[in-house]
Amino acid sequence: MVTLMLLKQKKKQGVLLINPGSVRLPKEHNEGTYCLVAIDHKKVNVVYYTITGKEVPHLSKSFEL
């Protein structure tokens, strides 16, 4: 398995694995994170936010199903 930073989102054999981070015990950021997942037909958008609601663009990603 790759490191957590590289495995924030990973599509493997048709399964999308998502690590939303932690709002209580953050490891990689000073501020906790969570993510929202939006599914639109065959596209999945995973967008990460800090607990103050600021988007974290370098973690966010889109996938085709």
Domain ranges of the chain: 9-64
Question: In 29-43, which positions are buried (b, 16+ CB within 10 angstroms) versus exposed (e)?
Answer: eeebbebeeeeeeee
Sheet order of strands, 33-40 included: 33-40, 43-50, 61-64
**Is this model's pTM higher than 0.75 or not?**
no
Q: What is the pLDDT along the chain (65 residues), one digit of tens a residue?
A: 222 333 345 666 666 777 777 788 777 667 888 888 888 888 888 898 988 999 999 888 888 77
Q: What pLDDT is stored for residue 55 in this prediction? A: 94
Give the residue from 19, 37, 21 showing the smallest Cα distance to 29.
21
Q: What pLDDT is stored for residue 20 in this prediction? A: 76
